[in-house]
Structure 1
Amino acid sequence: MQATWLNSSAKPRRSVSLLRGLVWISVLAYVPLSATYFLASDVTKHRLQDVVLAYVISPSFSYGAGSGNDGHIDTYIGTHSSMLIHSLAGSLSLTLGLSQFSDGFRKAYPKIHRWFGYMYILGGCAFIPLSAINYLLRTGPHQTFSGPAFAQLLWLDAVATALTGFLALHAAIQHKFERHRDLITFNFALMFSAPLLRYGWILLGQFWDETKEFINLIVGVWASGFLSSCAIFYIRTRKARAQRARTPLALSMIVGALASSVFGILFLAAQLETTQWWRPVPLFWSSLPPLMVQYTAFLVLAMVAKDDNSRIYWNTFVLGLFTIPFWASVSFETCRSVFHSDTGTAWYAAVTGGWGSATFFSFLINVYSTTYLVDDRTLTVGYPAAKGLA
């Protein structure tokens, strides 16, 4: 039989090409703002990002109360060195990460692509999360910009970035390149949370008369769900390589997920009476509608899936969303007991931690439950073409 590469010459869908273009533009526009933010040793001086925000939104948004240039500026003095490393490593990793999603670059310059990947992983596994953790430890949850709920979100993001980077490197060493690509895509989505926050400031700041600090928290609420969905849908467009049949979701897993959901709902319901609510309306509109859109999309894709593997893939995410109440209860109690926040703020942590954790663990289950007949470095002989997974 004729040897062929599975999906090696397939052109990306127009939607994927558009997504790539938007990511390129977003990263390249963000990098100068990030890379220069901590270059000056005097953190009280106006930086490029401040100047841009003052121009496109307002001077009060950029320099006034709740801008980060008020009381929070003192937190950067003691952590300037680590934050300089964080901003430079993040800018470099985001730029190098763009090359990792170019099939043409990978095939034309495999050695350069590989070394760029090593540098990207070094930033994602070490410099970025460790410098972020150093900032969080030295600053404390109540002095972190946007408060304890956002501090908890930063902790989750730092740990998830380091973990997915390490797992992606491990998969590449094992020559499991499809798994490597899935993990590195999710890792890049986690890193992309930094530019997404800035673009969220600019968008919401145009019509919402709120401080940067609060808008930052609101964008953080839906950012994890939005970015994880983008990564998941992008990954599925790359799944033309033949897979082995997956085992259907076990009954014990379904029962466990539903039981955890009941536990979480009961726990959270018990907190309602004693909650001192803080800005509940923005929390509602930034969480429930986007969550319902994500759930509906996963459910529809599971229903219209063309084969069993695709159906199991999307059902895993649907089932995972049922665990949100459990992870939300864990996040709520962590924010209240460990970070010593008020109950109103803890609800923000419950939403971000519950939504993000449920999607993240569903993603890992899908990644490690999927195996492929071949990897990128072997020619396929006689294997049937993939079914065009939905």
Structure 2
Amino acid sequence: MTRLIEPVRTAPVATRSGRLAGRIGWTFVLLAALAVVAYSAVPYFTASLHDLAGEEVGLAPTYAETSVFVQGALYVHIAGSATALVLGALQFWRGLRTRAPRVHRWIGRIYLTGVAVGGVGGLIIAPSSPAGYVGFFGFGALGVLWLASGWRAYRAIRRRDVPSHQAWMIRNYALTYAGVTLRVWLPLLLLAPLLLGQPWEFDSAFANAYAAVPFLCWLPNLVVAEWLIRRRGLPSYRLPVTRG
């Protein structure tokens, strides 16, 4: 019989080289988040959707002709996601947590608010995704897991269960970071036909690439998140063992 998933703990690994790698990794994560917000989010608040659609900026051509309600949800999603993307990276800065715990807590509250509004907005716009049903299910699943993991992180810290809170925050930010990894996967998938020696045409290549990213932008992130959780000795999960 298959057992329910059970929590496991592993021993943390802390070395000088590991701490240096952690600082480098954190710096990269933060800079990438800032770059994506500046490049992909800010333009929506500098011009109208119709103007951006004429310039074929991001999702503007898809949502410029939708209802006011869906357009409002798009802006809510962008604002909440951009806030969470930047502030979430700051929450993993150990110096902030140890030297300014009140600031850490307030940033956490704003972060989870960003996740909440961004997740709800994402669920509203998912049915209109240019990736069709794949986009609806892929981005819809992302929105549900994003909201659920944020809620679990909040509930854990309310119980003063810091290790579980940290584990759920890692999972949650891995989903938040889909905003970055989506923009990493897209150009790679666009160039894939050229690397494989296949005929290349932008529109078809982009359509094929965008059909893959609704799941690809967040599933590998969760795998990496679970690896980090285990590496840090935080409450993790293992797949149940089936016995005949």
Partners of 2:74 and 2:59 lie apart in 1 by 14
Partners of 1:30 and 1:217 lie apart in 2 by 21
Question: Does residue 173 of structure 1 match 2:167?
Answer: no
Alpha carbon RMSD of aligned pairs, Å? 3.2
CA shift digits 1:234-277 (9 cap, x unpaired):
222322x8x9xxxxxxxxxxxxxxxxxxxxxxxxxxxxxxxxxx
Aligned pair partner of 1:86 in 54, 62, 77: 77
1:88-103 to 2 correspondences below 5 Å:
88-103=79-94
1:316-327 to 2 correspondences below 5 Å:
316-317=238-239
CA shift digits 1:128-154 (9 cap, x unpaired):
111112223xxxx4x421111111111
Aligned pair partner of 1:38 in 35, 44, 65: 44
Partners of 1:82 and 1:30 lie apart in 2 by 20
Partners of 2:35 and 2:67 lie apart in 1 by 24
Cα pair distance change 1:319/1:95, threshold 3 Å:
farther
CA shift digits 1:314-347 (9 cap, x unpaired):
7x24869xxxxxxxxxxxxxxxxxxxxxxxxxxx
CA shift digits 1:136-181 (9 cap, x unpaired):
3xxxx4x421111111111111111111111111100111000000
Letter in structure 1 aligned against 2:143: A
SS state at 1:74 partner: coil
SS state at 2:49 partner: coil
SS state at 2:185 partner: helix
Partners of 1:108 and 1:17 lie apart in 2 by 17
Question: Does residue 193 of structure 1 match 2:191?
Answer: no
Aligned length: 222
Cα pair distance change 1:164/1:15, threshold 3 Å:
same
Q: Is the 8 A contact 1:100 1:113 kept in 2?
A: yes
Partners of 2:223 and 2:109 lie apart in 1 by 26
Pick the structure with greater CA Rg: 1
Match of 2:110 in 1: 119
Partners of 2:219 and 2:137 lie apart in 1 by 16
Percent identity between the two aligned chains: 19
RCO higher in structure (CA 8 A, sep ≥6):
2
Aligned pair partner of 1:159 in 123, 144, 148: 144
Match of 2:8 in 1: none
SS state at 1:36 partner: helix
Match of 2:220 in 1: 226
1:275-294 to 2 correspondences below 5 Å:
none
Match of 2:125 in 1: 135
TM-score, with structure 1 as normaliser:
0.50
Stretches of structure 2 that go unaligned for 5 or more consecutive residues are 1-10, 194-199
Q: Is the 8 A contact 1:34 1:88 kept in 2?
A: no
Higher helix share: 2
Shift of 1:41: 5.8
Match of 2:230 in 1: 236
Partners of 1:75 and 1:83 lie apart in 2 by 10
Letter in structure 2 aligned against 1:121: L
Shift of 1:219: 2.8
Letter in structure 2 aligned against 1:82: A
Question: Does residue 19 of structure 1 match 2:9?
Answer: no
Letter in structure 1 aligned against 2:94: D
TM-score, with structure 2 as normaliser:
0.77
Partners of 2:61 and 2:75 lie apart in 1 by 19
Stretches of structure 1 that go unaligned for 5 or more consecutive residues are 1-5, 52-61, 244-312, 321-390
